Amino acid sequence: QPDQAAIIERYTEQAVRFLRDHRHEPFFLYLAHMQVHLPLYAPQRFVWRSQNGRYGACVEAIDWSTDVLMRELRALGLSENTLVIFTSDNGSRGDRGGSNGPLHGAKATSWEGGYRVPCIMRWPGRIAPGRISSEMIASIDFLPTLAALAGTSAPTDWRIDGLDVR
């Protein structure tokens, strides 16, 4: 069995390679980290310095990966023309170091803590730095919105529940 803690490093390397291979054309890179899902796997270098156990180490590993990708976008001259979205699929379980505070509830509940998550978007020249929006969107809105931004439309042969939220 491969070293599960090293997966984030391998996926980050593959993502960097993808960016380099596709830097001269439009691209879509979707990187879904599994680090904060059970079981909690984090490289030892993050575990040693974490002040929040293995969960904190997993969060630090995701921060490291994001930093590597942002640095690579800058090095390739792509950072000013690339939309970067950083978000989560659901709230924390509320144990093992995770918290949804100050929201009530946790993953697998219908309370805000179960589904309300941060969504950080960076797109220089299109999204003002520091802009905070109170608009409610969901991940199901990404497909129609990103398709419209790319000048195409979402597939019409199956139902799309999401909305173009531009």
97-118 pLDDT, tens digit each: 999 999 999 999 999 999 899 8
Percent of the chain with pLDDT over 90: 77
137 half-sphere exposure, CB direction, 13 A CA radius? 22
Please tell me the distance from the alpha carbon of residue 90 to that of residue 162, in angstroms, as a whole number: 17
Count helices and strands in the chain by DSSP H and E runs: 5, 2
75: tokens are 């090095």
Q: What is the pTM of this model?
A: 0.90
